[in-house]
Amino acid sequence: MKLFWRESKPGRHLILEDDDGELTRVAFILRTPRGFDAVAQTKGYAPERSQNDFSTIEEAQAFAESFRPWEEFGGVPGLDVEPEVRARPT
């Protein structure tokens, strides 16, 4: 399994890639005029897993990662996020 941030047009997506190559977005960051908004995905309703107006994208990423959303979508505990942000697919 792999876990990595990927650039997207509006911000970044945290992607979980399973051993079969299937990709699942488990968190995302949006650039806004006020800064960055972060959301850690969930299968239920959890408004505390989103927050607006981070001043840096790194703060937004840390917030989303703190919920370990990949574990809810099949990722194994202890899985680390790759340090390099991948480019947006063309």
Q: What is the reported pLDDT for 79?
A: 92
Q: pLDDT grade, residue 76 (50/70/90)? A: confident
Q: Is 10 part of a structural domain of the chain?
A: yes
Count of domains observed in the chain: 1
Q: Is 85 part of a structural domain of the chain?
A: no
* Residue 44 belongs to domain spanning: 2-73
Span 65-74, mean pLDDT?
94
Q: Cα–Cα distance between 58 and 84 in angstroms, integer?
A: 12
Q: Is 60 part of a structural domain of the chain?
A: yes
Which residues make beta-bridge pairs with 36?
A: 31, 54
Q: Is 89 part of a structural domain of the chain?
A: no
Q: Is 20 part of a structural domain of the chain?
A: yes
Q: What is the reported pLDDT for 48?
A: 95
Q: Is 78 part of a structural domain of the chain?
A: no
Q: Which two structure tokens, joined as six digits, stand for 65? A: 């990662």
Q: Is 54 part of a structural domain of the chain?
A: yes
Q: Is 82 part of a structural domain of the chain?
A: no
